[in-house]
Amino acid sequence: MRGARALGVLLGIAVGAGPALAEPPPRKLLVVTVTKGYRHESIPAAERVIERLGRESGLYAVEFARTDEELRARTAPPALEAYDGVFLANTSGAIPLADPAALYAWVGRGHALLGLHAASNTLQDDRAFVALLGGEFDHHREQVRVQPVVEDPGHPATSHLGAGFSVFDEIYVVKSLARARVRVLLSLDRHPNSGEAGDFPLAWTREEGRGRVFYTALGHRDDVIEADWYGKHLLGGVRWALGSGEPAR
């Protein structure tokens, strides 16, 4: 009896402890690397880093859309319900989403849209996409070292970046961005190449209904994407963007 009673106590503890020990399922991101314009050589590095950050943090798992067929299948409205966010990792041009309007509405219902570098050079003829992302690529010149202004040091994507932060990369100049509609995280107050004074946002967030959007213009080069600070930048953006969504069911 004593042994049975002890076993019962242990089972009771185990059963009682179950909910407390249970880990919530990780979020799931669809990482898109389809290109219809310029294809960045750093795309494999972006895929590796995004997947690794999810695995090491336990925050999310990834599935990739690398071909037109995979993209159409995985962005069809029923398929989207398997994901918490879509990450456009150096996509470019008129990528063949299954149903663009359905994807944008899906974001507004509480999901995440994330973009890295050339994501702003994607679907530029679709003004609804540009409005959702918050801005679009205008031009770039030669790669250059810049010292971005950290406009929001309290944001998870920028809280680790100090005042002396600098990066050598291909620096995008963007257009169609209204500061009243976005939360700028990183910017330059001079053109990266000419030095002309102005306002040049480099990373921002915005909210779309109950969904969240994160974009960073940095990430042309492998060494930038693979840098520790950049990984923290991306992971902080993902953490924030997933904050308004529920785990995929």
pLDDT digits over 69-94, tens only? 999 999 999 999 999 999 999 999 99
Band of residue 4 on the pLDDT scale cut at 50, 70, 90? very low
Q: String of b and e for 113-131 (b: at least 16 CB within 10 Å)?
A: bbbbbbbbbbbbeeeebbb
Distances, alpha carbon 153 to alpha carbons 148, 161, 163, 184, 228, in Å: 12, 7, 9, 11, 17
pLDDT at 12: 41
AA identity, residue 239? R
Q: Which long-range contacts (CB under 8 A, 24 or more apart) does 74-80 make?
A: 74/30, 75/30, 75/99, 75/103, 77/102, 77/106, 80/30, 80/106, 80/111
Band of residue 59 on the pLDDT scale cut at 50, 70, 90? very high
Spatial distance between the Cα atoms of 168 and 154, rounded to a whole number of angstroms = 24
pLDDT at 21: 55
Band of residue 162 on the pLDDT scale cut at 50, 70, 90? confident
Measuring CA to CA, which residue among 238, 231, 196, 194 is closest to residue 215? 238
DSSP at 82: T
Band of residue 163 on the pLDDT scale cut at 50, 70, 90? confident
Is a pLDDT exceeding 80 seen at residue 142? yes
Q: What is the CA radius of gyration of the chain?
A: 20
Instruction: Please answer whether residues 75 and 240 qualify as being in contact, where contact means their C-beta atoms are separated by less than 8 angstroms.
Output: no
Element (H, E) at 52: helix 43-57
pLDDT at 227: 98
pTM of the model: 0.89
CATH number of the domain at 25-244, please?
3.40.50.880
Domain boundaries, the chain: 25-244
Is a pLDDT exceeding 70 seen at residue 210? yes
Band of residue 25 on the pLDDT scale cut at 50, 70, 90? confident
AA identity, residue 24? P
Measuring CA to CA, which residue among 102, 37, 98 is closest to residue 72? 98
AA identity, residue 54? G
Query: Residue 112's beta-bridge partner residues?
Result: 85, 212
- Reported residue count of the chain is 249
SS3 209: coil
Residue 49 CA to its chain's centroid (Å): 12
* Stretch 30-40: mean pLDDT: 98
pLDDT digits over 166-188, tens only? 999 999 999 999 999 999 999 99
Mean pLDDT of the chain: 91
SS3 85: strand
- In percent, the amount of the chain with pLDDT more than 90 equals 86
pLDDT at 23: 67
* Stretch 122-147: mean pLDDT: 98
